[in-house]
Chain A
Amino acid sequence: MSLKRFMSEAISPWMKNEGPDSDIVLSSRIRLARNLENHVFPLVADEQQSEEVNEQIRKHYENQAYGSVGNLSYINVDQLKVIERRVLVEKHLISPNLAEEPKHSAVLMSEDESISIMINEEDHIRIQCLFPGFQLSEALTLASGIDDWFEEKVNYAFDEKHGYLTSCPTNVGTGMRASVMMHLPALVMTQKIHRIVPAINQLGLVVRGIYGEGSEAQGNVFQISNQMTLGKSEIDIVEDLRGVVLQLIEEERSARNTLLETSKIQLEDRVYRSLGTLANSRIIQSKEATKCLSDVRLGIDLEMIEGISRKILNELMILTQPGFLQQYAGETLSPDDRDIRRATLIRERLKLEKNNE
């Protein structure tokens, strides 16, 4: 398969548009955790109980259209190959958890992949809406609408005091996790991030690496999300997060300006070295690749590099993950092989960009 065609299949359609503030905010996401009334949670459910939940949702929602979003297709996760599952994880459409234990689990997905609804993850239903750039309120409106649409046909486990009842006590109440993915290279370079992260934590928000809970910040990409789900309304939670993100955008922009004023040549050197590495490497490990991609993306944002689109970071961060590399290669690869393939893919991708000019 040509790289061009592979890319068009690998990149979710929703990612192809640029949203507001997309020089710094890569994407916005709302996740709602819901459970059905009178069914034990997936964690303790036996085969039959899980199947019942799965079936109840499938019969109402498979190939049903929601508003302008269009049809939702139903994918049985246990029928997917291991690599296919991995690819869905790398596209953030399912959680690593669902990919590892796909017992009677499924995902309902919109055509543009901006909506994915996991069935039988930690909770019976997890509605997820992804938007490019900084569009948290838009994501909340869509997720809440889908939530209402589900509630027309199924009874949720809900109580007056605790709100939406979830498997984990960290999600109870709104069941909502709002998060934004941000590229903050200047705050990392100036080490300001070390002061900012603890401050954000004190506000009841969490800062993590891009694959969610417990993962490292790769390529200066951070995920910021709400910690509390109880005691505050969905709109207030989103507003609080919005406030912090706006401030971070300001801080990052000002740190970028400071770097340009005080150490432009060093910055240019770093950006061009990284571009050189990406354009010429024959073997590249994932960690080095993401670091270089982050530098190049910064170089594009600061108009040091021209002729390469900004989307390249988002794209290559996904394409160079092990699942995608193996899918592109059409075979299982050892880590050493992956490093070679990764270098090749990045070189090809950059060449493609040049030819498109």
Chain B
Amino acid sequence: MYCQECQQRPATLHFTKIINGEKNEIHICEQCAKEKGDFIPGSNSFSIHNLLSGLLNFEQHPLSESTSKARSQQVMQCSKCGMTYSEFAKIGRFGCSNCYKTFASKLDPVLKRIHGGNTDHSGKIPKRIGNDLLERKKINQLRQHLQQLIHQEEFEEAAQVRDQIKSMEKRLGGSD
């Protein structure tokens, strides 16, 4: 593909520009990009955060006036660091780890776009707090088992499972 500006050099930079929901594909070579002063990798005008911000704001563009009014009445704001969703969308970065919970409902589509369709972690789990994670999973399973046992009126075994849960919860208690 040739550069759409000079029609001479091969296009090495490919962009999709979205303005007010209208999509525009741009294919240019590095030299023309530089001359245009637009999209220069390394210049302050363009960074991964700008790109990300475009991605996040795009989510909000299709809103009509009435829905955006409704939205403004229930602004999503992190209770811990005070960051709002629109601030997050503007700078492309979270203010604290709690933001992940605050913006959870809007996060998956964003993460999918960034991480090739993935939304869930499948890498390393920290050893110390990770043990707790596994333990908590086990407690949940035991709780379900307990309900089942009560339902089946097997109270003796249920009592044992209850005690097991209690002792596990006690062990976890310190690090919660």
Measured CB to CB, the residues of A under 8 A from B are 35, 37, 39-41, 43-44, 122, 144, 147-148, 151-152, 155-170, 172-174, 176, 194, 197-198, 204, 208-209, 213-216, 227-234, 237
Contacts and interface: CB of A to CB of B under 8 A. Distances in A.
Given A37-B97, A215-B41, A174 B129 contact: no
Interface in B106-161: 107, 110-111, 114-130, 133
A158 B124 CA distance: 10
Interface string B13-27: 010000000000000
B122 A232 contact: yes
Nearest to A159: B100
Given A163-B123, A169-B110, A233-B124, A44 B49 contact: no
Interface residues of B, number: 44
Contacts of A197: 12
Q: What are the 10 A-B residue pairs with the smallest beta carbon separation, nearest first?
A: A231-B118, A163-B121, A157-B97, A230-B115, A174-B123, A40-B96, A44-B95, A165-B97, A214-B42, A233-B123
Contacts of B41: 208-209, 214-216
Interface string B76-112: 0000111100000001111111001000000100110
A155 B128 CA distance: 8
Contact of B48 (A35, A170, A198, A216): A170
A163 B97 CA distance: 11
A170 B121 contact: no
B123 A176 contact: yes
A231 B122 contact: yes
A168 B52 contact: yes
Nearest to B44: A214
A176 B129 CA distance: 19
Contacts of B52: 168-170
Nearest to A194: B10
Contacts of B97: 35, 37, 41, 157, 159, 165
A143 to B, nearest CB: 11
A66 B133 CA distance: 27
Contacts of A176: 123
A162 B129 CA distance: 14
A173 B47 CA distance: 21
A151 B128 contact: yes
A227 to B, nearest CB: 8
B114 A169 contact: yes
Dominant SS among interface residues on chain A = loop
A209 B133 CA distance: 40
Contacts of B100: 159, 162, 165, 172
A293 B5 CA distance: 32
A232 B123 contact: yes
A37 B176 CA distance: 12
B48 A213 contact: yes
A44 B83 CA distance: 9
Interface string B23-46: 000000000000000000111001
Given A214-B46, A231-B116, A158 B129 contact: yes
B106 to A, nearest CB: 11
Contact of A43 (B95, B115, B122, B133): B95
A159 B96 CA distance: 13
8 contacts: A41-B94, A157-B97, A159-B100, A161-B120, A168-B48, A169-B107, A173-B115, A231-B116
Looking at B48, B49, B111, B133, the one whose CB has the most chain A CB atoms below 10 A away is B111
A169 B121 CA distance: 12
B94 A169 contact: yes
A230 B119 CA distance: 7
A231 to B, nearest CB: 2
A347 to B, nearest CB: 29
B115 A231 contact: yes
Interface in B41-75: 41-43, 46-49, 52
Given A44-B95, A155-B128, 19 more contacts: A40-B95, A43-B95, A147-B124, A161-B120, A164-B126, A167-B93, A168-B93, A169-B94, A170-B48, A194-B12, A198-B14, A213-B47, A215-B42, A216-B42, A230-B114, A230-B115, A231-B119, A232-B118, A233-B122
Contacts of A174: 121, 123-124
A332 B49 CA distance: 33
A95 to B, nearest CB: 13
B91 A228 contact: no
